[in-house]
Amino acid sequence: MFPNASPQALAARFTTLAEVLVPATSEDRAAGNQRKLLAAIAATEPATLGAVAERMGRGAPAMSRAVDALVRAGLVERTPDPDNRRQLQLRLSDDGRALLQQPPATNSRLAERLSRVAQSELRALERALEILERMPR
C-alpha cells in the first residue's frame, strides 16, 4: 500500500484514474452540460433565465443560447410569467424530465467494467465511496 499517501497524491491518482475509467467523449461532455442545465431549471421551477444563469455561474447570453437549444429539442418549455410580462418562465417538458431521470451513458460503461471485479473488491470500493461521500463539500 502507500503508508505516506498525502491528500495531494491521492487526489492526483483519483483524478487520473477517473479520467481513465470513464473517458468522456465530447458527446458525453455536451450531454453532461445539458443535464446540469436541466437540473438547474428543475431545481427552481418555474425558473427564470437569470436564476438559472446565476445557479450555473454563467452569463445570461450564454444561458439564453443553451436554453434556446433545449427548447428546440423539446426538453424545456418557455411560457410568459403571469406576474411580469417582460419575463419568461422555464419548465422542463415531460421529455426533459424523463431525460434527467435517466442515468448518464458513462454509468453503464463504468458498470460494465465493474462487473468484471471480484465481489470483495466491489465491497472495498463501496467503502471508499462512502468515505468520499462523507467528506465536506
Same domain, 93 and 39: yes
Q: What are the CB-based long-range contacts (under 8 Å, 24+) for 65-73? A: 66/33, 66/37, 67/37, 67/41, 70/34, 70/37, 70/38, 70/41, 70/96
Residue 71 is part of a domain; what is its CATH number? Answer: 1.10.10.10
pTM of this structure: 0.64
Same domain, 97 and 114: no
Same domain, 38 and 94: yes
Same domain, 30 and 82: yes
Closest among 64, 108, 98 to 52, alpha carbons compared: 64
Same domain, 66 and 120: no
- The answer to whether residue 10 sits within a structural domain is no
Same domain, 94 and 55: yes
Q: What is the pLDDT of residues 2-34, one digit of tens each?
A: 666 788 888 888 888 877 776 666 566 667 788
Grid cell digits, residue 23: 473517458
Q: What is the pLDDT of residues 28-57, one digit of tens each?
A: 666 778 888 999 999 988 999 988 999 888
- Identify the DSSP state of 76: E
